[in-house]
Amino acid sequence: MVFTFLVGGKAGEGVKKAGSVAASLFVSMGRHAFEMDDYQSLIRGGHNFSVVTTATRKVTSHYLQSDVVVCLDERSYSLHKAHVAPKGILVYNSDTTKGEGIGIPFTSEANPYPDPRLILGVGTVAVLSAVVGQTKEELKTLVENEYPRGVEHNTAYAAKIYDTARPLVGRTYLLERGDKKRGFLSGNQAIALGACAGGLDMYVAYPMTPSSSILHYLAAHREELGITVIHPENEIAVINMAIGAAFAGAVSMVGTSGGGFALMQEAFSLAGMTETPLLCVLSSRPGPSTGVPTYTEQGDLRFALNQGHGEFPRIVASPGSVEEAFYLTAELLHIVWKFQTPGILLTEKHLSESSMTVDIDCEEAQWVKPVFHTNGEYNRYSDTPDGISPLLFVPSKELINWNSYEHDEKGITTENPDLIVKMHEKRKRKGETLVEYLKGMKTVNVYGEGNPVIFTYGSTLMSVLEALHAGNIKATVVQPIYLEPFPVWEVTQYKNTLGIVIEMSSTGLFASLLKEKTGINPEVVIKKYDGRPFDPQDLADIIKEVL
C-alpha cells in the first residue's frame, strides 16, 4: 500500500523537520520512502510543506494526493484540503482555522512551552504516530531520538497531542512492515558521500540554494570523512582554489547553482586548458537570473553543456535518482581525473533536496586512480597517443608547469602555429579517448519495454517512473546519464519509435538536444516549468492523454 503524509505550515514551525521525522518513522519500519520539501526563500512566515510517500516497494516520487494531511495554519488548510485522498484524513489547527475535518488545538497546547512556534511540528508527528498505530511509548522514543533539544517539552507536548488525536484518528492506517531498514539520504547528501567514497580531498563552495546543503553536510562531517571544506569569498575564488588544490594533488570538487556557476565559467575554461581534473556540481533552480531560488527546473542544460570558452573536452552527467547520484559522483571524480578535464554533475533542486531510501554499497563506487608519470624527464603536456599526459605533483625535482596560455609539452607559453595545432589535437584526441572509454560504460539507463519510448533525464526520471506505476502505463524509458559526450551509440537505436520527451523546461531543451545529437524527433514534448516537480498521478494522466 502506498501511503502519503503531508504537513503544511509557516516557515519556522518545524514543518520540514516533521517531514523528515515522518520519513524516518517509515524507514525504521523497513519501508521505502520519498520526501519532498516545498519551501520558500524566506526565514519566517510564508507557506512550507513537506510531503512523504511510503510503500513496501521502491517509490521514486512523492504523491500530492495524501492519506493524511496536517495543516498548522489557515493557508495550509485552504491549499491542501484539495490534496486529501478520498478516504483520507484532514487534520487542521483548530486555534488558527475554522474547517472541516479533525480539529486539534496545536497552538493552545503549545503555548505553555518556551518555543511554542517551533514545537508545532512535534505535534504533527504525534498525529501521524497515532494514525499509523504507534503506541505512546513508541512515539516517546521517536521524539527523544529526533528532537533531543528541549526533549522533555517535546515529549510532553507530543503525548498531549497524541492523546487528543488517538480517539479521533487512531489506528486508521496500519502500515505493514517492509523487508529491511535502508539508508535514507537527500540527493545532496548522496552527492557529498559519493564524492567521499570516490576519494574526495577538498570541497570548496559558496552558499547558493539548492546546492548549499552539500557544503553544510561536508562541513559537519569533515573530520570523520578526512576531507577539507572551504567556504571562501565568492564562486570565483571557489573554483580557482579548487584548481590550485588539484595542482597540488588534491581531489577537489565545487558546488553551486546557475548564478554561481556563471561566475565560474572563466576558470572552468582554465581547467580545460591546464587539463585540471575538477568536478563541479551544478544544482539547478528556475532561472533566468535569481529566478525562483527554492524550486526546481531543468533550464540550465545548454548552459552546462557549453560551460567555458574555447574548445576542450567537457563531461556532463546527470543522476536520475539519489542512489545514482552517489555512484555517479564517485564515477565522475574518477573520470575527470583519468582524463584531466573539468566535469559537471548536473542536477536539480528536486533531486538535491528531496530524500529517498537507498541501497548503497560503498565498495561499488569508483575510486580516483589517475595515470602517473613514472620515470625520466617530465613533460606536463606530453603528446601521448591517447592525449592523456601522465601527472606528477609538487614537491618534485622535475619542473611541473600547468599553463593557462597555449603551451608546449613542457608547459611553457607558446604562440608557435605548429605547437598550437599540436596541443589542440592532443586535447581533441583526449576527448576521443574519453568517448571510447564511455562506450564501455553504462551511459544510459533503460527501463521497461515497447512503445511508447519516453526520453527523460535527471530528477524528472523519478517522476516519470512513479507516473508509470501510478497510471499502470507500459512504456520504455530512456534516460541518458551522460549528456556530454552524448551517448549517441546507445540512444540512436530508438529512432523509429513513438517518442515522448518529458522535461522540466519551457522551451524543450532536452528535446532539442536529442534531435541535434541523434536525429530523434519526438512526437510529443511534455514540459513543466512552474518550479514544482511533476506529481506522478498528474503526469500519468498527461501521458495517457497523448498516447
Partner 1 sequence: MDDLTTYAENTWCPGCGNFGIFNAFKKAVRTLESKNISRSYIAISAGIGCHAKIFDYLKLSGLYSIHGRSMATIQGMKVANPDLKVVAFAGDGDAFGEGIAHMIFAAKRNADITVIVHDNGVYGLTTGQYTPTSKKGYKGPSTPQGSVEEPLNPLALMLEAGATFVARGYPAKLDHLADIMVKAVEHEGFSFVDVLQPCVTFNNTYKLYNELVEILTSTPDSYEEAVTCAKRKDRLPIGVMYQVKKPAFHRELYGDWNPVAQKMSQKERRESVNKLVNP
Nearer residue to partner 1 within complex by CB, 221 or 428: 221
Binds partner 1 by CB under 8 A, chosen from 137, 224, 377, 418: 224
Amino acid identity of residue 502, one-letter, is I
Pick the closest to residue 280 from 247, 301, 253, 319 (CA basis).
253
Q: Is 363 in the site for partner 1 (CB under 8 A)?
A: yes
Phi first, then psi: what are they for 225, rounded to 5°? -90, -10
Query: Minimum distance from CB of 545 to partner 1 (Å)?
Result: 40
d(CA 339, CA 276): 9
- CB distance 83 to 65 below 8 Å: yes
Binds partner 1 by CB under 8 A, chosen from 93, 124, 155, 274: 274
d(CA 447, CA 468): 11
Query: Minimum distance from CB of 347 to partner 1 (Å)?
Result: 18
Per CB under 8 A, which region of 134-142, 145-153, 158-166, 225-233 contacts partner 1? 225-233
Query: Minimum distance from CB of 61 to partner 1 (Å)?
Result: 22
Binding mask 130-169 for partner 1 (x = CB under 8 A): ----------------------------------------
Nearer residue to partner 1 within complex by CB, 51 or 322: 322
Pick the closest to residue 409 from 392, 395, 423 (CA basis).
423
Pairing of strands 453-455, 482-484: unpaired
Q: Is 247 in the site for partner 1 (CB under 8 A)?
A: yes
Rounded CA Rg of the chain? 25
Q: Is 357 in the site for partner 1 (CB under 8 A)?
A: no
Pick the closest to residue 455 from 431, 424, 476 (CA basis).
476
* Reduced 3-state DSSP string for 451-474: CCEEECCCCHHHHHHHHHHHHCCC
Q: 58: Cβ–Cβ under 8 A, 6 or more apart, which residues?
A: 32, 357
Inter-axis angle of helices 187-197 and 212-220, nearest 10: 50
Q: Is 307 in the site for partner 1 (CB under 8 A)?
A: no
Residues facing residue 33 across a β-bridge: 54
Binds partner 1 by CB under 8 A, chosen from 241, 332, 335, 504: 241
d(CA 155, CA 443): 49
Phi first, then psi: what are they for 11, rounded to 5°? -60, 140
Per CB under 8 A, which region of 245-253, 465-473, 475-483, 484-492 contacts partner 1? 245-253
Q: 522: Cβ–Cβ under 8 A, 6 or more apart, which residues?
A: 455, 499, 500, 501, 511, 514, 515
Binds partner 1 by CB under 8 A, chosen from 108, 135, 141, 234: 234
Binding mask 458-497 for partner 1 (x = CB under 8 A): ----------------------------------------
Query: Minimum distance from CB of 369 to partner 1 (Å)?
Result: 10
Q: Is 204 in the site for partner 1 (CB under 8 A)?
A: yes
Query: Minimum distance from CB of 367 to partner 1 (Å)?
Result: 5
Q: Is 58 in the site for partner 1 (CB under 8 A)?
A: no
Binds partner 1 by CB under 8 A, chosen from 108, 177, 311, 367: 367
Peptide bond into 480 cis (omega under 30): no
Binds partner 1 by CB under 8 A, chosen from 28, 209, 228, 265: 228
d(CA 293, CA 269): 26
Binding mask 394-433 for partner 1 (x = CB under 8 A): xxxxxxxxxxxx----xxxx--------------------
Q: Contact residues for partner 1 (CB under 8 A)?
A: 182-183, 185, 189, 193, 196-197, 199, 201-202, 204, 221, 224-228, 230, 232-234, 236-237, 240-250, 252, 266-267, 270, 274, 326, 358, 360, 362-363, 365, 367, 393-405, 410-413
